[in-house]
Amino acid sequence: MLLTAMRLYCRAVHRVVEFVGKSVSYVMPALAFVVAFEVFSRYFLNKPTIWAYDLSLFMFGYIAALGGAYAQQRRGHINVDILYNKVSPRIRSLFNLFSFALGMFFLVIVCKMSIGKFEEALEFNYRRQSEWAPQMHHFWVMISIASALLIAQLSSDWLDDAVHLFTGKRLLPEYHYDDEDDA
């Protein structure tokens, strides 16, 4: 019963994170267009825009932050392999339990602080200090959502590694391609 509930949670997190990660990837061509348009306007028309730089910063921030949980899901983050690859998969799970818990601790702080910054940005009408001066509240909402998504993904990975450490079996074996089974 408990394993079934954990599997349902992990699959739900996997689907949401995959959807958001793949969806935000569609912003990349728009970002490339904005940057190309600014280069064209600045160097060929000699009329730089006041909005392209700020917009490209926001778009890149959205792509990077909202894609973080998807990168974690796909194991795309940097790992220190000197010791990690020399131990058994179950010991790797132990390493993961520690690092994922530490990551979740810091992400909870980031999420809490970004919610506070969002409220502050609304209250004081914070704007980016540029000629265009776009509002900043949406950025803090995105940081809150991105950190919550990464917390959810890390918690899913944490549960999977905890089950693997104690049973030798994966909670969701269909999502693990790099582990050899050591049970």
Q: What is the model's pLDDT at position 121?
A: 96
Residue corresponding to tokens 């030798």: 168
Q: Which residues contact 73 (CB under 8 A, 6 or more apart)?
A: 14, 17, 18, 21, 153, 157, 175
Taking the CB of residue 122, how many other CB atoms lie within 10 A of it?
14
Q: What is the model's pLDDT at position 53?
A: 96
Q: What is the model's pLDDT at position 177?
A: 53
Mean pLDDT per block of 10 residues along the chain (183 residues) reads: 94 97 96 97 96 97 96 85 87 94 98 97 95 95 97 97 93 70 43
One-letter identity of residue 74: R
Residue corresponding to tokens 């050591």: 182
Q: What is the model's pLDDT at position 82?
A: 84
Q: What is the model's pLDDT at position 78?
A: 76
Q: What is the Cα–Cα distance from 177 to 160, expressed in whole angstroms?
A: 14
Helix (H, G, I), strand (E, B) or coil at 115: helix
